Amino acid sequence: MVWSYPGTPNGQRSLYLNRELSWLEFNARVLHEAEDERTPLLERLKFLAIFSTNLDEFYMVRVPALRRQVAAGVQQAGPDGLSAEEQLAAVNARVRTLVRRCERCLHETVLPALRREGLYLLVLEELDPEERRSVDTYFETHVFPVLTPLAVDPGHPFPYISNLSLSLAVQVRDPLTGGVHFARVKVPKSLPRWVPTGKGLRFLPLERLIEAYLWRLFPGMEVVGVHAFRITRYSDIETPPVDEAEDLLATIEEQIFQRRFGEVVRLEIESGMPAEVCRLLLAELKEGVDPLVLPLTEADVFEVGSLLELGDLVSLASLELRELRDAPFASVTPPELRAPERSIFDVIRDGDLMVHHPFESFGATVERFFDTAAEDDDVLAIKLTLYRTSGDTAIVRALTEAAQRGKQVAVLVELQARFDEVNNINWARTLESYGIHVAYGLPGLKTHAKTAMVVRREADGIRRYVHIGTGNYNSRTARSYTDFGLFTCNPEIGTDISDLFNLLTGFSRQREYRRALVAPANLRDRIVAMIAREAEHARAGRPARIIAKMNALQSPEVIAALYDASRAGVDIDLVVRGICCLRPGVPGLSERIRVISVIGRFLEHSRVYYFANGGDEEYYIGSADWMPRNLERRVEVVVPVLERAFHRRLMTLLETYLADQRQAWELGADGSYRQRRPADATDQGSHVRLMRDPWGLDWAESPYHTREFQAASLSPPPEPHLHDVNILSAGARRRRRPRSE
C-alpha cells in the first residue's frame, strides 16, 4: 500500500515507516543528548554509554531476525515496503553514520571538555613516573594473574569468544623463526575498566594497561601489533511450545545456555586494525557456522575508534562531580499519603489514588502498599505479576513476610523477560522457597501486565484493592522511568483483575471483562473501536480528539484506524518515545496527526490514552504500547481512569508534553525528526516542570506548593532547577545491555 510523495525517485512511499529504521532514529535522538552542549558533561558521557548499549541490544535481537530472513531467501516485504535485504543494508548504512557521530562526540568534544574539568582518560605515555609505578603494581597484583593468552595455530584452535566481551588481537613475531603468530587476550570483565593512576581523576583504560605489558604474557616474543575488537552474538531466546510450567523453566534455562553460542552478527574493531587481522577474525568467526545462517562479511565490520565497549563509560558518568551532573532531585510523597498514621487502604477506600513516578515516590506509594498488606492482619491474599524487578526490592521482602505470616501469596513470574531470564528464574525459586505460589503464565504469551491485588477482610465484607501500573515493580527503574500507577478498590475493576489472575494461574478462556482492556483478549479491538468512534463523532460534528502517549506505535491495524480518523476530521496528537511507524502530516491521509518524541532526563515509559468521545471524555492507562507484540502476543492490562479529579491532572500532563519546546522532537512524513527549539531561553522542558509538580500543574494549582503540604510531606519537594535540563536515562547501568521495558 503506497502513497504519492514528491521528491522520491518513483514518487511512491509506503503508508508505514520501517520499524528498524525508526528505532535507529530514536537512538540517534539519544546520541544527540550527548552532542548537545546544554547537557551537563557527565550526563553527556552517560548518553554515549546509553547509545552504545542500546545499539548492542539492537544487534543482539533485531539485526539477527533480518539476517535470518535474508539467509532463508524471504523476499516478501513488510508493511513499509522494504525487504529484509533492503532493511539490512539501510540499517548498516545508518549505523555507520551514527557510530562516526558517537566517536567524534566522545573524542573531539566530551573527553577534551572533561580534561578541562580535571577528569582524564589517559594513554600510557601520559603517565608521570609516580603514576607509572602505581599502575605497574596494579598490573602485577590484580591484572596479570587473571590474564590468559590464547594462541591460534594448528595446535590451538580459535578460542570461543563470548558475546560483547572486549578482546585484544595480538600479533607476535618469533625472533628465532621470524614467523608472525596470532593470539587473543580477553580483557577481564571482572576488573574495573578504568584503572586509577593514583592521582586525582586520572584513569587508564584497562586494555591499554594490558597492551603495555603484553611482553609479560609472551616472554621471548616480539609484540608487533595489538588491536582491540569485540563481537556481538544473536542473544534472543526462542521458546518452543511447552505444556507444563516445569517444562518451560527447563526450556528457558537450556535456551539461556545456548544463547552463549549464538551466531556472530557484528564485529567491532579498533581504528587502524590491519586488513589481514580483520580478515583472519572474519574467517575464524565464520568457521563452523550453520549454513542456514547468513555468514559474517565485511559489511558487518564496524570501525569504532580507539575506545570500544562504551557502555562502561557509565561508571565514569556516575562520579560525584555535582557541577558536571544534573542538579539533585528528590521525589515527593503524594498529599493523600502525607499522614503516616493513616492506612493506605483507608486512603484508597475514600477514593482512587493515582501517582506519577519518579516525581512521586515509589517507596511511599507502591512499596508502602505491599508493606502494609504484609503486616495487616485483615489481609487474606496478595497477588501480582513480576516482569522485571530489582535485586534489593522491598516488594519481594514484603511478599515473603506475608507468606510467613500465613497469607496466601501468588506471583506470576515472567521467565521470558528479555535479558532478565536468569534473574527471574532465581526470583521464582526464592519465592517458592518461602511457600509462595509461583506461576509462569500462559503458553505462547509473555505476561507484561503490571498489576497487583490485595484481598482484605473488612466490616462490610471482602474488598479487593488493586494497583495497575505502566511500569515494572522495580524500585531501581522507578527512580529514572516515568510511569503511572493507579490504586483503586472499584468493584468492577477488582473483579476483572481477579478474573485475570485466575486466567494466569488456572484454566480459563475468559475474553470479556467489565472495565479492563486485556490483551490478547479484547485490547486491540477495543482500541480500534474507540478510534473509529472518534471518527464517527467528528463526522457528526461532536467533539472528537485523540491524545495518546506510549513507548512505540507499530500496529498496522491501529495505524490504519488513526489514518481513517484523521481523514474524518479527528485531531490526533501522539507522544511516542521510540518506534513510530505512522507517517504524520500526509495531505489527505494524516494531515491532522502530529507526532512528537520527548527525550530528557528521565526515560519516558508511561502510557495514557485520551478520547474526547463526543464530550464524555475517557482516559486509560496501562502496560501496553500499540504494537503487535503487545496487542497480540502478550498479556497486557489497560484500565479506565474513572475518578474525574484525575482527568484534569492527566490532561495538564499531556499538554505539558505537547507544549514542550525544549525536549520534544517532531516527526515528519519522511521519517525524520526535527528537534524543537525554545524561543525563550528560560524554557526548560517538560521534565523540569514535572519536577516542580508531578502533573505539570501551575504553581497556584499544585498541592505541592501549599504551606500545609510543605510542612506535612514525608519527603520534601524538589527545588526548581536553575539550569537547563535535557537528559534521558534509558536505564544505563553496568550491564551488557540497554534498558528494557
Q: How far apart are CA 575 and CA 667, in angstroms?
A: 10
Residue in 327, 360, 321, 322 with CA at minimum distance from that of residue 725:
327
Q: How far apart are CA 65 and CA 71, in angstroms?
A: 10
Q: How far apart are CA 182 and CA 153, in angstroms?
A: 8
- CA 7 vs CA 12, 90, 255, 671: distances in Å: 9, 19, 47, 14
Exactly one of 448, 467, 605, 721 is catalytic; which is it? 448
Determine the Cα angle at 283 with ends 278 and 287, to 5°.
150
**Element (DSSP H or E) covering residue 397:** helix 394-404
Q: How far apart are CA 236 and CA 740, in angstroms?
A: 13
Q: How far apart are CA 25 and CA 472, in angstroms?
A: 25
Residue in 183, 188, 194, 107 with CA at minimum distance from that of residue 149:
183
In angstroms, how far apart are the furthest CA atoms of the chain?
Answer: 93
Q: How far apart are CA 351 and CA 69, in angstroms?
A: 52
Q: How far apart are CA 386 and CA 423, in angstroms?
A: 11
> Is 448 known to be catalytic?
yes
**Element (DSSP H or E) covering residue 582:** none
Q: How far apart are CA 637 and CA 634, in angstroms?
A: 10
- ω into 520 cis (within 30 of 0): yes
SS3 283: helix
**Element (DSSP H or E) covering residue 160:** none
Determine the Cα angle at 730 with ends 693 and 92, to 5°.
140
Place of cell 568534544: 109
**Residue 575 carries which DSSP code?**
E
SS3 461: strand
C-beta separation of 720 from 692 below 8 A: yes
**Residue 506 carries which DSSP code?**
S
C-beta separation of 172 from 221 below 8 A: yes
Q: How far apart are CA 83 and CA 70, in angstroms?
A: 9
C-beta separation of 205 from 195 below 8 A: yes
Q: Compute how many other C-beta atoms are within 10 angstroms of the C-beta atom of residue 656.
A: 19
- For residue 487, list its beta bridge partners: 353, 467
* Cell of residue 718, nine digits: 524538589
Pairing of strands 201-205, 194-196: antiparallel
**Element (DSSP H or E) covering residue 526:** helix 523-539
* Cell of residue 64, nine digits: 539477527
Give the CB-side neighbour count of residue 297, counting CA atoms within 13 A: 8
Classify the C-alpha dihedral 359-360-361-365 as positive or negative. Answer: negative
Q: How far apart are CA 46 and CA 315, in angstroms?
A: 9
CA dihedral 334, 338, 343, 349 (to 10 degrees): -50
SS3 223: strand
Residues in the chain: 741
Give the CB-side neighbour count of residue 378, counting CA atoms within 13 A: 14
Q: Compute how many other C-beta atoms are within 10 angstroms of the C-beta atom of residue 410.
A: 19
Q: How far apart are CA 449 and CA 465, in angstroms?
A: 16
* Cell of residue 705, nine digits: 506548593
Q: Which residues carry out catalysis?
A: 448
